């Protein structure tokens, strides 16, 4: 089972605030903590003292702290890739290499005596991970995570994200990506227009971002990159991540009936496998509710994302639930009872035939 994570930046906040945030995340089942040493300018002992307080507290909650570093920082702090005792003293679960070495060093780092995890950058699109694998790393200590992007329009495109993620998937390496909190106000650097891995996620509700990563099947762990996400957001992340089945939000029409509401929102829908290009069919509702009347109303022409229930005019299909995948004419036998909410319409492309899902009413 994958894990959820938060990010904290001790040098830009206070221990009290970080502690409260860790408590809140822990309450909703979060296990991972990302933090960064990249913007550190002070001496080693001061760094260790400041970070250790937060890391110790996270560890006391059973959370796992991953520290972002790069080769320049090793020099600055006078530490070596073949001696990771500094991070062991800090209490870190692992180190994330923002910029890597040549591959041989990373492989050697995975064989450290402390069992510290080595997390490498997944977003580069090069054969970096293949190179590390050729030096025989301890794969149990090797992990991957995508970057996050504070600059608007600089986040990853979806196709590049897939290509990079698949390079790690083939070795069964644990993968992580970042989502953006719309309520958070800071990250590791002064400038930020939010912090996310995928550019398309920047303005979306955090639960929708999580659903998308889960539906791709490419990402094990998901962390919110900026601080501090609100309690509402952490709860939404938790619900989306740990949900038994994916959920999609629906805006209902003004004239939806009580029976139609029952059909949409009190059933687990199953995407019929013999798929059509025009409609996603959930056929069991027509059997379960065959005795309900389903009179015709709102029989307008259909566009992608419309949520449909066949009415009494469709005989044996009466009560079947469908979602329009293309524009279609309506001959009066189909009730348009809602529409997939605009921000989740793209999720339709990620629902697979034979999969099950739930519809929830958008508030």
- DSSP letters for 58-84: HHHTT-EEEEEE-HHHHHHTT-BTTB-
Nearest to residue 320, comparing CAs of 338, 303, 335, 302? 335
CB of 227 closer than 8 Å to CB of 148: no
- The pairing of beta strand 269-270 with beta strand 356-361: antiparallel
- Give the C-alpha separation, 316 to 314, whole Å: 6
Give the pLDDT score at 93.
98
Q: Which whole number is the average pLDDT over 323-351? A: 97
Cis peptide before 228 (omega within 30 of 0): yes
Q: Which whole number is the average pLDDT over 231-255? A: 97
Q: What is the pTM of this model?
A: 0.95
Q: Tokens at residue 16, please? A: 């009290």
Query: What average pLDDT does the chain have?
Result: 95
Diameter over CA atoms, the chain: 78
Domains annotated on the chain, with CATH: 4-243 (3.20.20.70), 248-361 (2.40.100.10)
Tell me the percentage of the chain whose pLDDT exceeds 70.
100
Tell me the percentage of the chain whose pLDDT exceeds 90.
87
Nearest to residue 218, comparing CAs of 256, 155, 161? 161
Instruction: Convert the pLDDT of each residue in 35-51 to its tens digit.
Output: 988 777 777 777 778 78
Residue indicated by tokens 């995570």: 145
């Amino acid at each position: 089972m994958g894990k959820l994570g938060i990010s904290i930046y001790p040098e830009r906040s206070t221990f009290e605030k970080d502690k409260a945030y860790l408590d809140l995340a822990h309450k909703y089942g979060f296990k991972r903590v990302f933090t960064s040493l990249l913007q550190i300018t002070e001496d080693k002992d001061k760094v260790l003292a400041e970070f250790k307080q937060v890391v110790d507290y996270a560890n006391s909650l059973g959370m796992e702290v991953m520290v972002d570093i790069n080769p320049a920082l090793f020099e600055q702090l006078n530490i070596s890739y073949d001696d990771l005792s500094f991070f062991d003293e800090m209490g870190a679960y692992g180190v994330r290499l923002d910029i890597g070495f040549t591959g041989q060093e990373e492989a050697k780092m995975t064989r450290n005596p402390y069992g510290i995890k080595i997390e490498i950058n997944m977003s580069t699109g090069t054969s970096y991970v293949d190179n590390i694998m050729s030096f025989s790393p301890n794969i149990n200590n090797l992990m991957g995570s995508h970057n996050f992007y504070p600059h608007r329009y600089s986040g990853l495109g979806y196709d590049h994200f897939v290509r990079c993620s698949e390079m790690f998937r083939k070795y069964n390496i644990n993968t992580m990506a970042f989502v953006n909190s719309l309520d958070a106000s800071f990250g590791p650097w002064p400038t930020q227009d939010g912090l996310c891995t995928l550019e398309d996620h920047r303005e979306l509700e955090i639960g929708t971002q999580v659903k998308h990563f889960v539906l791709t099947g490419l990402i094990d762990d998901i962390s919110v990159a900026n601080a501090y996400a609100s309690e509402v957001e952490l709860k939404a992340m938790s619900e989306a991540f740990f949900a038994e089945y994916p959920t999609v939000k629906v805006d209902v029409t003004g004239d939806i009936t009580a029976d139609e509401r029952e059909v949409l929102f009190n059933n687990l829908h199953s995407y019929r496998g013999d798929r059509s290009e025009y409609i996603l069919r959930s056929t069991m509702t027509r059997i379960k509710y065959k005795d309900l009347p389903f009179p015709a109303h709102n029989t307008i022409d259909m566009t992608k994302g419309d949520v449909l229930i066949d009415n009494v005019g469709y005989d044996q299909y009466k009560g079947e639930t469908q979602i329009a995948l293309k524009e279609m004419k309506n001959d009066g036998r189909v009730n348009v009872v809602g529409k997939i909410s605009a921000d989740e319409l793209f999720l339709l492309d990620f629902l697979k035939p034979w999969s099950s899902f739930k519809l929830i009413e958008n508030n």
